[in-house]
Amino acid sequence: MRLLDKYLLKRFTAAFFYAFVFFSVLFIVIDVFNNLDEFIQHHAPLQVAASYYFYLLGSVSAQLVPVALLVGLLYVLGDLNKHNEIIAMKASGISAFQILIPYLLGGLFLSLVLLWANETVIPQSSVTSTAIMEGLIKKGKENLKERAIQNVTFYTPDNRMIFAREYEVLTQTLHDVVILENHPDQTLGSKITAKKAEYRQNRWVFYGVLQVDLERNGEVIGQPHFSPERELPISFAPQDLIKEASRVEFMSAKELRDYIERLEGSGPKTVRRLWVEFHTKIALPFVCLIITLIGVPLGTRHKGGGTMAGIGTSFVIVAVYYGINSFCLALGKGGALPPFLSAWAGNLLFVGVGIYLIKNSS
């Protein structure tokens, strides 16, 4: 590595670190004020609130890192420009692209780190922070094992769609259960409701069960059947339910892909929306690399320097990127764009903008 590359990376690393700390503290302060009434109302202990923000910060790091990256880039390059160091580099024959190389490698490294974190750290941090807020703080439970999952939806391979108002993890109990059993042609075959269901000795036992059977044309067959207690042959264990009932943000890309493959018979709209989410989990981390492509040529042109100018420019660029990205994702979920293209369209557009800016840098 050239001495110049080491110098540029050292300056950038320090600026990125301070920017990340600044935005992390700012985010926590804003969130504390938003949730202050919850903490006071439920008498949340200080250590519980601190653990909540520790895991919450891990779950939102994917949003904070790109902003900190761009602020760090524009601040450092603006400061270099302010002291005529960029002019000196160009005068000695160093092109804008050569100045870009160490930052490009840094952006690529951060993208790969975020991609890894999306598969490991971030989903687990999201689960834990949500469990702390909903269980330990709002419901005053003593540990996370007592947490409950709200509004459970589970699709089984044997054409059953299962809904439950709540699933208690510790007692392995479903409450207010609705089971829709479909015919092979996806028409509704029967509807089963139950007050609760318990997992006992590797089987599900339902209580207060009412079953209504239906013809393919929707007409009721015979009379509804009521059973105070009934075992149903449902092929999923509690650990499967916890995994599948999790929200999309609680899943890694691999887990989401496996979930989608099991949902192929549930309807094209649901599957299409989930495929968009899957491709987004892979495409979004590369925003760090894209921000580098745009930030460096902007920073080498910037004459004013200064932190506030860097923050202001950063917010504009990030807002435009996420605005375009959200629009493309909406088109993908609505069926106007293929899922893969909708997730990568914003990245491809900004890569083109970045290449154009680099080519026209002087």
What's the pLDDT score for residue 285? 92
Residue 301 confidence (pLDDT): 64
What is residue 1's predicted lDDT score, i.e. its pLDDT? Answer: 57
The whole-angstrom separation of Cα 352 and Cα 342 is: 16
Q: Taking a C-beta distance cutoff of 8 angstroms, is the pair 149, 239 a contact?
A: no
Global confidence as pTM: 0.71
Question: For 277-283, which contacts have Cβ atoms below 8 Å and span 24 or more sequence positions?
Answer: 277/248, 278/253, 278/339, 279/339, 279/340, 279/342, 279/343, 279/344, 280/329, 280/343, 281/118, 281/252, 281/253, 281/256, 282/115, 282/253, 282/343, 283/343, 283/344, 283/346, 283/347
Q: What are the boundaries of each domain within the chain?
A: 62-119+278-359, 146-246
Residue 340: per-residue pLDDT: 94
Per-residue pLDDT of the chain (362 residues), as tens digits, is 578 778 888 888 999 999 999 999 999 999 999 988 888 887 888 888 888 899 999 888 888 998 899 888 888 887 887 777 777 877 787 776 777 788 888 899 999 999 999 888 888 888 788 778 876 677 655 555 555 677 777 777 667 788 888 887 767 888 999 988 877 666 777 888 999 999 888 888 999 999 888 877 777 787 888 889 988 877 777 766 665 555 677 788 888 887 787 666 556 777 888 899 999 999 999 999 988 888 877 776 655 544 455 556 667 877 888 899 999 999 998 889 999 999 999 999 989 888 887 777 65
Residues 330, 359 contacting (CB under 8 angstroms): no
Q: What is the pLDDT of residue 67?
A: 87
pLDDT on residue 302: 53
Options 1.10.287, 3.40.50, 2.60.450, 1.10.3470; CATH of 146-246: 2.60.450
